[in-house]
Amino acid sequence: MASEETDDRPNVAAAVVVHEGRVLLIRRRVSEGSLRWQFPAGVVEPGEAATEAAVREALEESGLTVAAAQHLGERVHPATGCTISYTACYVLAGEAHAASPREVAEVAWVARRELAEYVPDGVHGPVHAYLNKVLSQI
């Protein structure tokens, strides 16, 4: 029975986009639970890999063309209950903006020291470790 409940949850992919020492966050027009700011993310479509979905969602929501660098892990998100997969991405082209105005209110490039202000509940452990590593190098 528990496995059926897990299978019914949406499978969501998030793009953890780092560029010039900052990480990209978006603010949705309609909040999801207690989330105000989050990584560009959306439902993985049938036949699509989570890394492909993360790249697609980054383009659809922020206007950035990105490439997947590495899978950072997955979890059931405590605020939404969705199974979410995180993919580290880097920018290939474009300028970040609210590319899907019906869904996205604004975008922000956030420095490591500002992350707790935008995401007070913290980020997934492996994502946090990745951001500490890559954002401290710049």
Confirm if 63 and 48 have CB atoms less than 8 A apart: no
Calculate ∠ Cα 75-70-124, nearest 5°. 30
Please name the residue ranges forming H helices in 39-124: 50-62, 115-118
- Residue 40 is part of a domain; what is its CATH number? 3.90.79.10
State how far the Cα of 82 lies from the Cα of 79, in Å rounded to an integer: 8
Intra-chain end-to-end CA distance of the chain, in Å = 47
Residue 2 is predicted with a pLDDT of 38
State how far the Cα of 7 lies from the Cα of 67, in Å rounded to an integer: 28
Residue 36 is predicted with a pLDDT of 85
Residue 82 is predicted with a pLDDT of 87
Could you tell me the pTM of the whole model? 0.90
Q: Which domain holds residue 122?
A: 2-136
Residue 10 is predicted with a pLDDT of 58
Structural domains counted in the chain: 1
* Residue partners of 124: CB distance under 8 A and separation at least 6: 72, 73, 75, 84, 86
pLDDT 10s digit of each residue in the chain, 138 long?
333 344 554 599 999 999 999 999 999 988 776 678 999 999 999 999 999 999 999 999 999 999 999 999 999 988 788 899 999 999 999 999 999 999 999 999 999 999 999 998 889 999 999 999 998 654
State how far the Cα of 15 lies from the Cα of 25, in Å rounded to an integer: 9
Residue 7 is predicted with a pLDDT of 52
- DSSP track, 42-64: EEPPTT--HHHHHHHHHHHHH--
